[in-house]
Structure 1
Amino acid sequence: MKNDTMEGKWKQLKGEAKKQWGNLTDDDYDQAQGDREKMIGKIQERHGKTREDAEREYDDWHRRFGQY
């Protein structure tokens, strides 16, 4: 799924993202709006993960839920 499509479906997917990354705030999700790079940065910041781990985690999540 292209990133612009993900952004368009972000409101639907936000609930699943909250289950995955509970430490992110509503403001974090609103700022990211489903943008991959922004989400990876937020995951790194709030969960203390390396860039590579955050990318892997986001990409795994995207594969599972990006089809909605």
Structure 2
Amino acid sequence: MAWDRVEGNWKQAKGKVKEQWGKLTDDDLDVIAGKRDQLEGKIQERYGIEKAKAKEEVDAWSTKYDSRH
């Protein structure tokens, strides 16, 4: 359920995503457009981590984001 909130507020969430994963560019964030699978893929690509690790990081981040909003 937490990701629905992120996706719905993507314009606001983009700044927080960029704070968490600074290697993502503004263009990356525009392409991602709130899509979780796209975010996980870009994190994998930019940070050279496995899909499972990217998913784990996004899970943790989205739970934290959801609790603040």
Write the distance in 1 (CA, Å) between the matches of 2:6 and 2:34: 6
Letter of the 1:44 partner, please give it. Answer: Q
Q: Deviations over 1:2-35 (max 9, x none)?
A: 6454322011111111110000000111111121
Higher normalized helix content (fraction of residues) = 2
Aligned residues: 68
Write the distance in 2 (CA, Å) between the matches of 1:5 and 1:60: 14
* Aligned-residue RMSD, C-alpha: 1.4
1:15 matched to which residue of 2? 15
Write the distance in 2 (CA, Å) between the matches of 1:16 and 1:34: 12
Write the distance in 2 (CA, Å) between the matches of 1:24 and 1:14: 10
The percentage of aligned residue pairs carrying the same residue is 47
Question: Could you list the runs of 4 or more consecutive aligned residues of structure 1 that deviate by over 6 angstroms after TM superposition?
Answer: none
**Residue segments in structure 1 that go unaligned for 5+ positions in a row:** none
Q: TM-score when scaled to structure 1?
A: 0.88
